[in-house]
Structures are given as structure tokens and as C-alpha cells.
């Protein structure tokens, strides 16, 4: 039996990780995968660190991803990539948005935001793809679609074909926002070809 593919989406409350996981789930469902998605609601949403765990395959039991098990980490923010990096499996891929959002302990001067996170991770020999997702989303017409730019890059690394992703977008996103999100997805998908 094929082992499940594990995708960890990490970011900051309000960045749209949950919407991205919905589109991913819809695409995986259309292909006929068994799928489990796990997320935490409630207190974490108030600007805290958020994580959505997505597992797809022939048969999925646990809805959770343990340390060292993620095939892909889709990081919406640099510090969150660092926080969840130990979940990446050997040979796994990190897709990272080069955005920095300072947590309150950093704003308050009680902690430092680590410097050069991306370069430090790359220096570890990890397969990293960096995206300027926020700039790309702004170029597409809406800063809030940065999540869909990242999803596009993830899609490029998936065995699911582009059309199914686009259908999943259309089924998940309100019609008035679909055009800008389609553009954002394509931007991410195209950038995704760059690989390493």
C-alpha cells in the first residue's frame, strides 16, 4: 500500500492556512484519495502560531503528522518555518514565503527575531523553495491571496494535475474573488517550476 503523503501548512492566525487546506482537500478528494485534515481552532487564532496537517493516500489512519514525517512543509511565514522544521522528513521539501511577522515577544523587545532564517535552513542542505508570495499576490491584485500563491507552488510539486486544482479553487472560493485567486494560483504554480 502506498504510504500517505504528509503536508504541513504553518503560519500565523489570519494568513489563510485554513482556506489553502480546504482547496488542497478538495483537489485530493477529486482524485479519489483518502484524506484527513487536522487543525486547531479557538485560542490559537488570535494571532498565534497555526498549523494545519493534511494527509492523503490510499488509506489514512492518523490525522496527525509527527516530527520527521512531513513530505512537504508549506510555510506562510519564516519564523513558523523554523518552528516546525523538525517535522520535515529527511529529503522533504520546504516551500517558504519570505515574509516576516514579528510575534509580540519580539515587538516587546523580550525576544529576537532570528536573522537569515532562510539562508540558515538552506545551509543545512534542505530542499527549500523561496517565494515572494506577498509581492506576487499584490501583483495579482489582492495581498490576501498570498495563501493561494503558496498553494500554487505546492500544486506544482504534487501529482495532481493543474485542472483539478483550478476546479477545486472554483469550488472553494467565492465567485467575486475567483479571478484574482486564479491568477495568484498560476503565479505560484509557474514559480514552482523553478524547483530548487
Partner 1 sequence: MKELLSGNVAIARGAFESGVVLAAGYPGTPSTEILETLAGYEGIYSEWAPNEKVALEVGIGAAMAGARAIVTMKHVGVNVAADPLLTVAYTGVNGGLLLISADDPGMHSSQNEQDNRNYAKFAKVAMLEPSDSQEAKDMVGLGLAISEQFDIPVILRTTTRVAHSQSMVELGEPVAREIKPYNKDVKKNLMVPAFGKLRRTSLAERLKKLTEYSENTPVNYIVPGSDKVGVITSGISYQLVREVLPDAAVLKLGMTNPLPVELIKKFAAQVETLFVVEELEPFLEDQIRMLGIKVTGKELFPETGEYDQGLLRRCFVKAGVLPASPHTEDPAAGLPQAPPRPPVLCAGCPHRGVFYTLRQLKLTVTGDIGCYTLGGLPPLEGIDSCVCMGASIGMAHGIDKAVPSLKGRTVAVIGDSTFLHSGITGLLNAVYNNSDSTIIILDNRTTAMTGHQDNPATGRNLMGQEAPEVDLTMLCRSLGLKRVEVVDPLDMSRLQELIKAEVAMPGPSVIIARRPCALLKREVKPAVTVDEEKCIGCKTCLKLSCPAIAVINKKALVTAEACVGCNLCVQVCKTGAMQRGQADA
What are the residues binding partner 1 (CB under 8 A)? 12-13, 25-26, 29, 34-49, 60-69, 79-80, 82-83, 85-86, 88-90, 92, 102-114, 117, 120-121, 124, 126
Q: Which is nearer to partner 1, 141 or 190 (CB)?
A: 141
Instruction: Provide, rounded to whole angstroms, the least separation between the CB of residue 154 and partner 1.
Output: 18
Q: Which is nearer to partner 1, 112 or 196 (CB)?
A: 112
DSSP annotation of 126 = -
What does residue 112 show for φ and ψ, rounded to 5 degrees? -105, 140
How many angstroms separate the Cα of 186 from the Cα of each of 72, 112, 150, 153?
Answer: 20, 35, 10, 9
* Sign of the CA dihedral with 69 first, then 71, 41, and 98 last: positive
Instruction: Provide, rounded to whole angstroms, the least separation between the CB of residue 133 and partner 1.
Output: 16
Q: Which is nearer to partner 1, 151 or 191 (CB)?
A: 151
Cα–Cα distance between 113 and 93 in angstroms, integer? 23
Instruction: Provide, rounded to whole angstroms, the least separation between the CB of residue 163 and partner 1.
Output: 20
Amino acid at each position: 500500500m502506498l504510504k500517505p503523503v504528509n503536508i504541513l501548512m504553518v503560519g500565523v492566525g489570519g494568513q489563510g492556512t485554513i482556506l489553502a487546506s480546504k482547496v488542497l482537500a478538495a483537489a485530493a478528494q477529486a482524485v479519489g484519495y483518502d484524506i484527513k485534515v487536522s487543525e486547531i481552532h479557538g485560542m490559537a487564532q488570535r494571532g498565534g502560531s497555526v498549523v494545519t496537517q493534511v494527509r492523503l493516500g490510499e488509506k489514512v489512519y492518523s490525522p496527525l503528522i509527527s516530527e520527521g514525517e512531513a513530505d512537504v512543509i508549506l510555510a506562510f511565514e519564516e519564523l513558523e518555518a523554523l518552528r516546525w522544521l523538525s517535522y520535515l522528513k529527511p529529503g522533504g521539501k520546504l516551500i517558504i514565503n519570505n515574509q516576516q511577522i514579528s510575534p509580540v515577544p519580539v515587538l516587546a523587545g523580550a525576544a529576537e527575531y532570528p536573522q537569515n532564517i532562510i539562508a540558515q535552513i538552506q545551509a543545512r542542505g534542505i530542499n527549500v523553495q523561496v517565494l515572494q508570495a506577498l509581492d506576487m499576490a499584490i501583483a495579482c491584485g489582492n495581498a490576501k491571496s498570498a495563501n493561494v500563491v503558496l498553494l500554487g507552488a505546492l500544486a506544482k510539486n504534487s501529482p495532481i494535475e493543474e485542472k483539478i486544482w483550478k476546479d477545486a479553487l472554483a469550488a472553494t472560493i467565492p465567485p467575486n474573488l475567483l479571478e484574482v485567486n486564479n491568477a495568484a494560483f498560476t503565479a505560484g504554480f509557474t514559480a514552482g517550476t523553478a524547483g530548487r
